A and B are shown apart, each in its own frame.
Chain A
């Protein structure tokens, strides 16, 4: 009897967790279909092509997984800060800065390889973390909104690295592409399967997600940052050091963002190139998977694979059918928007019991 009951309640919970995102996905695909129809193509056909080109062939599925690596890491970077109540919209900038620094160090370091790798990774992580910590610092000292400052730094990071790779650090062997030289062969992450871009970075990602789950649900830091996100006054009252949580979670968020960028450089591209992160929108896709999964890391991982599939599928559709790649982004944004209405459903139930704030409302709102 007891067991049966548990299965039933499990099924109910399962349904509660997954129905809403599924409905949101359905709506997202519908909106996408409308746009495809306007473009004069057959939506069903396009979607079939899209999913074929993303999930239903081993080669393309591995492409999808390759893309999911930076997206997933970006999403946990965002979740790390957001669950503590700090909205880091600067993951893109931290990703750019971290991977740029990591790449440059590994190309130009005169030290032996092993040392260079360690120093490059450490510098990259530190650069990403510092950028995020700077935003936390000016919020702490001058009450500057983290939302605005981190977003502004995306542009700054993008333009300044662009300057360096256009002029002093450019690979002059190629006149067309604005990029750095390649990193040494020995520093590249090994491919998992010959002839495909899927590499060791995927395994690192899985480990990071597992580690993240452990930190969030088992550690005292995870507990304190969650409480700070839900109600900072309550956390402070219980002896949690709010500023420590803020700096820690922003630093980890920035370091994770840098990791995402470095995994892309060391695993796939082997160099830092102009707009390699802005045009691909990894950070924003990561943000959306974090939100769709209501800040749950495992959910974010699954969602990241799905959203990456949409993008990879979008790319292949763009090649064969006349549909711009952005259809994927459009669908993703619609899904996120409609999942936000799920948050409101639980929000509403709460409102009745007189709860002032929802858990996903972050620091941004307070800063306004």
Chain B
């Protein structure tokens, strides 16, 4: 196995990581304010669809990206409003939003493009790959970073930014306090509900971002339900990362790697089996890391 092959695998893994990481960060910000958001999947799917639709009608990459993110945010706002302001049950809102977006995108796919199932066209623009001077000439690195888009890099900045916001700024402290004890936040005159709704909206923006990278990143097309459970895998990544943005980067990279290995193994193993790898590995990871955690608790008990 040559180094280029390894670099290619890592390249694919990192590019598969971006959408999962965005969903995971979205899940984290919701958890941090005490809201359980199950609609990540739907928020992501609408972002992916909107990006392709805007892409087709405007021919502008910038507008597609911004539009995808904003429309994801709008769905997030709706979810937040229903769950926080109207106290609607989280699971009900989440599942119905996911199904709603699934149906809506399928219908619009037909209305706007006259196709069912999937839409692909050479006229659709892809996100441009970023060439970093010097690095692009290095042997291993050049393969590793090949075809990375600005959004793949930006994702890490978002994670670090969220970490700084939550744990270093005053607003972050206030945001965290809402999740710890909402009465305390309210008694200090913070708009706790507004904070919660904003957080869910931010999760919508992040998922929208993830959706855009999904439909305009590695491939440029939209397929019905193309998120394929990535919103839920994001929840798992958030769970493993204990809602900490920096740990979430690691957890997401793991799931990205599983995703990538599924497509690489496809050459030797029937695709029906490889495609289930990401889902099986999600379950295994959740089991494994929780056991690790329990061991830790046991050790500290013995000490």
Decide if A and B touch, CB cutoff 8 A: yes
Q: Nearest-CB distance from B93 to chain A (Å)?
A: 6
Interface positions, chain A 305-338, Cβ under 8 Å from B, are: 322-324, 326-327, 329-330, 332-334, 336-337
Query: In the assembled complex, which residues on chain A have CB atoms less than 8 Å from the CB atom of B116?
Result: 324
- In the assembled complex, A341 has its CB within 8 A of some CB on chain B: yes
Instruction: Give chain B residues whose Cβ lies under 8 Å from the Cβ of A326.
Output: 102-104, 106-107
Q: How far is the CA of A348 from the CA of B88 in the complex (A)?
A: 10
> Which B-chain residue is minimally distant from A337 (CB atoms)?
B96
A260 → chain B closest CB, angstroms: 18
A138: which of B91, B235, B286 is its contact (CB, 8 Å)?
B286
Closest to B228 in A: A155
Q: Is B188 interfacial (CB-CB < 8 Å)?
A: no
Q: Which of A133-192 contact B (CB under 8 A)?
A: 138, 142-145, 147-149, 151-156, 159-160, 162-163, 166-167
How many cross-chain pairs have Cβ atoms below 8 Å apart between A and B?
Answer: 161
Chain B 84-116: CB-based contact to A (< 8 A → 1; otherwise 0): 001111111101110110111011001100001
User: How many angstroms from the CA of A323 to the CA of B111 in the assembled complex?
Assistant: 8
CB atoms of B283 and A89 under 8 A apart: no
- The answer to whether B272 and A364 touch across the interface, beta carbons within 8 angstroms, is no
Interface status of B236 (Cβ within 8 A of chain A): yes
Scan residues 91-146 of chain B and give those whose CB is less than 8 A from a CB of chain A.
91-93, 95-97, 99-100, 102-104, 106-107, 110-111, 116
Asked if residues B90 and A365 are in contact (CB atoms below 8 Å), the reply is yes
Contact among B38, B99, B107 for A147, CB-based, below 8 A: B38
Closest to A329 in B: B103
How far does the Cβ of B140 sit from chain A's closest Cβ, in whole Å? 33
Query: Chain B interface: which of A13-21, A105-113, A241-249, A283-291?
Result: A283-291
A162 touching B88, Cβ below 8 Å: no
Q: Is B290 an interface residue (CB 8 A)?
A: yes
Among A64-72, A211-219, A264-272, A355-363, which stretch is in contact with chain B? A355-363
Whether B272 lies near A159 (C-beta < 8 A) is yes
Q: Which residues of the partner chain B approach A27 to less than 8 Å between Cβ atoms?
A: none
Report chain B residues within 8 Å CB of A154: 229
* A152, A163, A323: the one within 8 Å of B272 (CB): A163
Known contacts A35-B107, A324-B107, A340-B82, A153 near B283 by CB under 8 Å: yes
Total count of chain A residues near the partner, CB < 8 A = 57
- Which stretch of B163-171, B245-253, B273-281 is in the interface? B273-281
A114 and B275 alpha carbons, distance in the complex (Å)? 38
Known: A152-B283, A156-B279. A361 touches B91 (CB 8 A): yes
List B217-236 residues whose CB lies under 8 Å from chain A: 228-229, 232-233, 235-236
Q: How large is the interface on B (under 10, 10 to 19, 20 to 34, 35 or more residues)?
A: 35 or more
**Is A147 in contact with B91, judged by CB distance below 8 angstroms?**
yes
User: Do A163 and B279 touch (CB < 8 A)?
Assistant: no
Cα(A89)–Cα(B92), bound, Å:
11
Contact of B90 among A156, A288, A336, A364 (CB under 8 A): A364
B55 contacts chain A at the CB level, 8 A cutoff: no
Q: Say whether A22 faces chain B, with CB atoms less than 8 Å apart.
A: no
Q: Which residues of A contact B36 (CB under 8 A)?
A: 364-365, 368
With a cutoff of 8 Å between Cβ atoms, the chain A residues found around residue B275 in the complex are: 155, 159
B177 interface residue (CB < 8 Å to A): no
Q: Knowing A35-B107, A138-B286 touch, does A87 contact B291 (C-beta < 8 A)?
A: no
Closest Cβ of chain A: how far from B287's Cβ, in Å?
5
Question: For chain B residues 277-298, which have a beta carbon within 8 Å of chain A?
Answer: 279-280, 282-283, 286-287, 290-291, 294
A200 on the interface (CB 8 Å rule)?
no
Contact A327 B290 (CB under 8 A): no
Q: Which residues of A contact B (CB under 8 A)?
A: 35, 38-40, 87, 89, 138, 142-145, 147-149, 151-156, 159-160, 162-163, 166-167, 284, 287-288, 291, 322-324, 326-327, 329-330, 332-334, 336-337, 339-341, 343-344, 347-348, 351, 358, 360-362, 364-365, 368
| B107 CB to nearest A CB, Å | 5
Verify A344–B99 contact, CB threshold 8 A. Answer: no
A185 to B159, CA, bound (A): 59
Q: With A329-B102, A364-B36 known to touch, is A156 a contact of B89 (CB < 8 Å)?
A: no
Question: Are A163 and B100 closer than 8 Å at their CB atoms?
Answer: no
Q: Which of A145, A147, A340, A351 sits near B96, CB closer than 8 Å? A: A340
Contacts of A166 in B (CB 8 A): 270, 272
With a cutoff of 8 Å between Cβ atoms, the chain B residues found around residue A329 in the complex are 99, 102-103
Instruction: Contact check, B38 vs A145: say whether CB atoms are below 8 A apart.
Output: no
Q: Does B17 contact A (CB under 8 A)?
A: no
> With A142-B291, A327-B107 in contact, do A167 and B270 touch (Cβ < 8 Å)?
yes
16 A-B pairs (CB sep. < 8 Å): A39-B107, A87-B91, A138-B286, A142-B286, A143-B290, A152-B232, A152-B280, A152-B283, A155-B228, A291-B92, A324-B110, A326-B106, A333-B103, A334-B96, A341-B88, A360-B91
